[in-house]
Structure 1
Amino acid sequence: MGVYRFLLMPRWLGALALTLVAAAVMVLLGDWQLARYHDRTAINEQIDAGQRMDPVPLPEAVAAPTGGAGTVGPTPTAERTWTKVTAAGQYDTANVILVRGRSLERTVGFEVLTPLVLTDGTALLVNRGWIPPAPGGDATAQPTVPAAPTGTVTVTGRIRPGEGGSLPVTRRDGNLETRRVSLPRLASELPYPVYGGYVLLDTQSPTADPTFEAVPVGYTNNWQNYGYVVQWWIFAGMTLIGFGYFARREARQRAGLVRERAADRAAEPASA
């Protein structure tokens, strides 16, 4: 082991410290990605569980708003997100919301949200589905939105929180239009309190217009995170192996140099 005493030199000690720090950081990054993998796996399992469950009344999944017009109720808890709910009310066709820039099978179009006003005067935003832009126009050309049923409508779908951000909400051609489902921002444009989650429609009575296409549930790509876990941990191992390789190569070079010098000293008397 004496040949490895060079590892006590400042240069090699610094290299070892840097190697250990780099490997530790990579292991921590792998641990972080592993936590992300577990979180995203839990979300996907929750989506599947919500799809299989029987629907529950809306108030069992998310609390009703208690403020006045333009306010938003509590956000669904993580445990209740993607719960299948049912609610009955009347669609407010004067405040249809078009969410532009939404893709389905490589076509950019609109998701259509319509407030369902319940008997207590609160409203639940219902994502009725996706429709393409108007024919002959670009992706921002407003389509003709199929009329919502009149009278009492019963909807069943999965509850989810609103989206982050507070992009502007404008009114164009009689419809509200936005890029994000920001419930506080949308509620400020509506004349009633709004639930803190909105519903992705599964079924509706009376039956929904066939023009709408169902908005797919956004499963998370948890296996991408798992791949990052493996990647970071392999990098950590390679870093340690690399240090060991260079240390061994240095030791062998030093050992060879020692042997050469010993051979030279042994050869000196003979040549004399």
Structure 2
Amino acid sequence: MVVYRFLATPRWLGYAALTVAAATVMVLLGLWQLDRYHQRAEINARIDAGTSATPVALTEVIGRPPGAAGTVGPQPAEHTEWTRVTATGRYDPAHEILVRGRTVEGAVGFEVLTPLVLNDGTAVLVDRGWVRPAAGGALIAPDVPAAPTGTVTVSGRLRPPESRGGRPQEVAGHAEIRRITPSVIAPALPYPLFDAYVSSDEPAPGFAVVPADKQNALQNAGYVLQWWLLAAMTVYGFGYLARREARGPRPANLLDEEADEEEAAHSAPRPA
């Protein structure tokens, strides 16, 4: 008869507590990864939906900046990222900014931000596309196609502000930044600015398309399975050890019989 009264001893109670704690942490880590999977899958769904969606007016998605020049408006809601929007105005190439350190298809270059001034005097930053750096190095201005003149209508994906942005710096006769943060850029501009930017999905000749940053949701799904399998193995391992403990040490005569059987199996003549 298998007896499990030993499970009430301090040693085994400690093992049980450790097992429960470890399995609980692993289950919670799996739930966290499951939440990350849903978040990333939702982003990918918005990116895919925006590919064929009809653009909507910029002001239908994000509020206009209500303040004076050098200020920004409200941030866009999280669910509006990657929405296809359209805006009409005039480009202001005098305040164009290059975003350095941007990679497209393995090459590092610049994204070109040009303010689009709308009819009401507010402006939105438009990412017109990606260009390669100049052959002469970082201190040489890259070849940037000129912005169209006159009134233009731009369509593209709405992007939220990037974090940890710095103020534009003068490099080789043009302004450069590392991160696109409208609230930090706005004080250098003579108009109120939307606190988001538009990534053009119809770049002009000379520009490369900045691809949508799709998320690797399947990686998170794999982590969910990994953590939950580890939790199950931890519980199974405790049960296996408890079962062995309950059975006690195996009788010596049984061990001898098994050893004799194994020796006989090895010494038996093999058929020709």
What TM-score do you get using the length of structure 1 for normalisation? Answer: 0.88
Q: How does 1:110-259 map to 2 (within 5 A)?
A: 110-137=110-137, 141-203=140-202, 208-254=203-249, 256=251
CA distance in 2, matches of 1:90, 1:175: 20
Is contact 1:55-1:85 (8 Å) kept? yes
Q: 1:23 to 1:256 in 2, by over 3 A?
A: farther
Greater CA drift, 16-25 or 48-57: 48-57
Q: How does 1:57-136 map to 2 (within 5 A)?
A: 57-136=57-136
CA distance in 2, matches of 1:12, 1:171: 68
Q: In the alignment, is residue 12 of structure 1 matched against residue 25 of structure 2? A: no
Q: In the alignment, is residue 24 of structure 1 matched against residue 24 of structure 2? A: yes
CA distance in 2, matches of 1:171, 1:27: 51
Amino acid of the residue matched to residue 34 of structure 1? Answer: L
CA distance in 2, matches of 1:120, 1:175: 27
Amino acid of the residue matched to residue 213 of structure 1? Answer: A
Q: How far is the alpha carbon of 1:91 from its aligned partner?
A: 0.8
Q: How far is the alpha carbon of 1:252 from its aligned partner?
A: 2.6
Is contact 2:186-2:192 (8 Å) kept? yes
Deviations 1:56-109 (A, max 9, x none): 111111111001111111111123221111111111111111111111111111
Q: 1:245 to 1:230 in 2, by over 3 A?
A: same
SS of residue in 2 equivalent to 1:196: strand
Deviations 1:187-218 (A, max 9, x none): 12111111111101013xxxx53110010011
Q: 1:158 to 1:129 in 2, by over 3 A?
A: same
SS of residue in 2 equivalent to 1:64: coil
- Unaligned residue ranges in structure 2 (runs of 5+): 256-272
Q: How many residues align?
A: 254
CA distance in 2, matches of 1:27, 1:142: 53
Q: How far is the alpha carbon of 1:228 from its aligned partner?
A: 0.8
CA distance in 2, matches of 1:158, 1:217: 9
SS of residue in 2 equivalent to 1:236: helix
CA distance in 2, matches of 1:152, 1:172: 29
Report percent identity of matched pairs. Answer: 56
CA distance in 1, matches of 2:111, 2:229: 43
Cross-structure match for 1:267:
none
Q: How far is the alpha carbon of 1:141 from its aligned partner?
A: 4.8
Amino acid of the residue matched to residue 86 of structure 2? Answer: T
CA distance in 2, matches of 1:241, 1:210: 62
- Unaligned residue ranges in structure 1 (runs of 5+): 261-272
Is contact 2:2-2:247 (8 Å) kept? no
Q: 1:173 to 1:191 in 2, by over 3 A?
A: farther
CA distance in 2, matches of 1:86, 1:172: 31
Amino acid of the residue matched to residue 196 of structure 1? Answer: D
SS of residue in 2 equivalent to 1:188: helix
Q: How far is the alpha carbon of 1:232 from its aligned partner?
A: 0.6
SS of residue in 2 equivalent to 1:3: coil
What TM-score do you get using the length of structure 2 for normalisation? Answer: 0.88
SS of residue in 1 equivalent to 2:46: helix
Q: How far is the alpha carbon of 1:221 from its aligned partner?
A: 1.1
Amino acid of the residue matched to residue 217 of structure 2? Answer: N
Greater CA drift, 141-150 or 246-255: 246-255
SS of residue in 1 equivalent to 2:50: helix
Instruction: Give the alignment's Cα RMSD to 1 decimal.
Output: 1.9
